[in-house]
Chains A and B, each alone.
Chain A
Amino acid sequence: MLLIRSGVVKYWRLSAFVALSTLIVGLLLLKGCRGSVDSPSGTRPPIADGPVGSRQQRSDILQDMDPGDETPSVPRPSEINVHALLLEDPRRVALSREELQWLRKHYYPTDQHLAELKSLDIDSLNGTKDPWLGTLQGLALLERGETLPGVAVLRSAGARGAIYSLEQAALAEHSLLQERLGKTTDIDDILRARLEVARALGDHRVDFLIEKHLPNYRTVERAYFVQRHTTEFMAALGREAQLQNFKPVGPDPRPGLDEWRAVEALGKSDVPRTVEVYRLD
């Protein structure tokens, strides 16, 4: 009887040991998977676990237009007049293949994606952790007039590396605050700081937005406020990463700063010149 009891105890101990080991191995594997899923922006667009934001869902929604595709088509440059280039939004235009790759890496949408936002099933994307789907959902929400939810979704995508989302969220928030509270310098400070966050993360083309939306902004006079806001907003991105347990994004400079400056210099002259550009397709 004692032997039998001893055997039973040993059996249960063995079972418990096996179960515990399996649990630990499973947890380690899960952690490893999460680490690879939430890899820093630039390697591969992170795709969340679960039904929302899954690879299948992304595939269903975007079909073959996914910028995170492993084998994007070889880009072909087109020529454009410098003055025409500077009049359009330069954020989604690249002057080199490297810059185009950077745009893809940071989830800049194509014209086609923007045109198809109205047909996007945004309700099914609620809570998505995929920065690409978040970008599209946020933009679609803005189009449908859900401004603050759109801002929130875009900013979530931005925390995972979607820089274009951060910029669009900043503009939408600025419009919302102006609509509710009137035009004040404080609100302009907030927009400027939000755009400085995008610049700090790498996009030097925010200059276009600053010139367009804050033409009379007194940069030197407001520097202190902008610096304080920028610090807080950067910290907020870090806190978001901490809460959701993914690695926070860091600076990833957009290539082509010198080339863009050269284009801007050309744009100031009256001589018509053309440049080669690459566009997202």
Chain B
Amino acid sequence: MASLVVVGGLGVGDALAGSFCSLSGCEVRPPISVPGFGGIGGGGGWGNDGNSGDPEREYQAHWCMDFPHEVWKYGCELTSPPELAVNGCGTAGGMPVPDFLVSPVMAVVAAGMGGIFREACDVHDACYGTAGANKNACDEALRHDMVGVGLRKTPAPLRPVFDPYIRGQAWAYARFLQWETVGPWTSNPAFNTAQDEGYCRKWSTEYRQICS
């Protein structure tokens, strides 16, 4: 069984579309990538087993046998990939993160407006969990979304009071996620884990589409 080329920057579907076989064996062009895990080994092509039929189907059959083992080494189970958690602001680093407005002034009224930041946090969850997402872009979008949603869900008479706190909380969330001092222990691992899981789900979907 030949090994697969797994370096580069394209997904499984791209690799299949660009591969070809000749009498001397098959090559994968462009190479398959495993971006979330930083690549899975090298090598390239595989030999002709003497039972040549449709080269593309042959390649596909080999790939379908090899790929689960390759990604399994990195904690990805293609048949049961991790789920995407879309659960509001949830927790980060073990700390509770409220999705309601935290205001020192009229605190009960602020909390009583409900989880005004939940939708923004849901989108942020989806952003972190999408394979290939940009962390900084996700965090900046969170800040922007929190302000937009927060102001819309604040009654007009209360807006002068809560406006600075909405902007402040949005800034604090985004800033915390982008804070280089604590990032290596808080948001960076969370993002990396979410990305690994996102890639695993992506591969799982592609694997099922190609191999089922």
Contact = CB atoms under 8 A, between A and B. Distances in A.
Given A152-B152, A176-B123, A184-B202, A127 B84 contact: no
B145 interface: yes
Contact of A181 (B127, B151, B152, B201): B127
Contact of A156 (B88, B111, B114, B122): B114
Contact of B156 (A127, A189, A218, A239): A127
Contact of A243 (B86, B114, B141): B114
A174 to B, nearest CB: 10
A225 interface: yes
A222 B182 CA distance: 36
A249 B154 CA distance: 23
Interface size class of A (residues with CB under 8 A): 35 or more
B66 interface: no
A173 interface: yes
A103 B118 CA distance: 27
A68 B148 CA distance: 30
A177 B127 CA distance: 8
A36 interface: no
Contacts of B129: 186
B152 A153 contact: yes
A185 B199 CA distance: 12
B34 interface: no
Interface in A50-103: 50-52
A141 B113 contact: no
Contact of A152 (B85, B112, B119): B119
Nearest to A155: B119
B119 A151 contact: yes
Interface stretch (A8-16, A196-204, A205-213, A228-236): A228-236
B151 to A, nearest CB: 7
Nearest to A122: B152
Given A151-B119, A186-B84, A190-B86, A51 B157 contact: yes
A150 to B, nearest CB: 8
Interface in B143-161: 145, 148-149, 151-159
B205 interface: yes
B167 to A, nearest CB: 15
Nearest to B87: A232
B45 interface: no
Nearest to A141: B152
A225 B83 CA distance: 6
B196 to A, nearest CB: 14
B168 to A, nearest CB: 18
Nearest to B158: A127
A136 to B, nearest CB: 14
Contacts of A149: 148-149, 151-153
B71 interface: no
Given A152-B118, A186-B198, A232-B86, 18 more contacts: A51-B157, A124-B156, A146-B148, A146-B152, A152-B149, A152-B152, A153-B153, A155-B118, A181-B133, A186-B84, A186-B129, A190-B84, A221-B208, A236-B115, A236-B118, A239-B88, A239-B115, A244-B114
29 contacts: A50-B155, A52-B155, A126-B151, A126-B155, A126-B159, A127-B153, A127-B158, A148-B123, A149-B151, A149-B153, A152-B116, A152-B149, A153-B152, A173-B119, A173-B123, A177-B123, A180-B127, A185-B202, A186-B129, A186-B198, A224-B83, A229-B84, A229-B86, A232-B85, A236-B87, A236-B88, A236-B115, A243-B112, A244-B113
